[in-house]
Amino acid sequence: MSGWLKKVAAKIAAQKGRLAIWAIGILANNLLVYAFDFVLYPYVIWKIGLVWGIILMTPLSFACCWLMLIFYDWAKKDWIAIETIKELREYEGQSKAVRILSRILEMSDPAAVLILSIWKDPFICTAYMRRGAHQYNGLTQRDWKIFIASAFISNIYWALVNFGAIQIVLNYEKIWEFIIRLMQIPQYIA
């Protein structure tokens, strides 16, 4: 085994407890998020419509993500690797590659909130955007603003995605008819 591979294996072995916590935490979080986002959310939008779906699901999402933040602070464990990523954001060491990654992670708070709200959820967004790593100290006024903004952004985005997907499924025959008609147009033009 080469020298660098031994070093990597040794680092992994030294961090196996941390990696196990991350694996379990990320799996549990993803199961909860996927059940909420891909089962409950589309069902509610399908059954009661877009507007009432947003009205119902936004406070429910808010409550779930807030409870996750409370649990995250209570546990005082980096069970989804956010605090480790925040350490990278604050990195000032010698590694040029890590310093570049650090600068990218620091670039723009509004952009980070928008991206994390769409890509993840208000819990992840707020936990990541909090200042300092490994502090688990609740929400400041700034954190509450981020959390509320993220909750609205993510719920509007997710409701629209679900509504669009439901409309496609419910109207697939009309969509196919439209596509077939579009494909037939060129033969009449020539």
Average pLDDT over residues 77-93: 79
pTM of the prediction?
0.76
Q: Is-contact 130 73, C-beta < 8 A?
A: no
* Cα 92 from Cα 87, distance rounded (Å): 10
Nearest to 111 by CA among 131, 90, 132, 125: 125
Average pLDDT over residues 80-84: 85
Long-range Cβ contacts of 70-73 (<8 Å, 24+ apart) = 72/123, 72/127, 72/136, 73/136, 73/137, 73/138
How confident is the model at residue 185, as a pLDDT? 64
Looking at every residue in the chain, the average pLDDT score rounds to: 86
Domain ranges of the chain: 19-189
Q: Is-contact 88 102, C-beta < 8 A?
A: yes
* Cα 23 from Cα 36, distance rounded (Å): 20
Average pLDDT over residues 40-69: 96
Give yes or no for residue 80 having a pLDDT over 60: yes
Q: For 122-178, write each residue's pLDDT tens digit.
A: 999 999 999 887 888 899 999 999 999 999 999 999 999 999 999 988 888 887 888
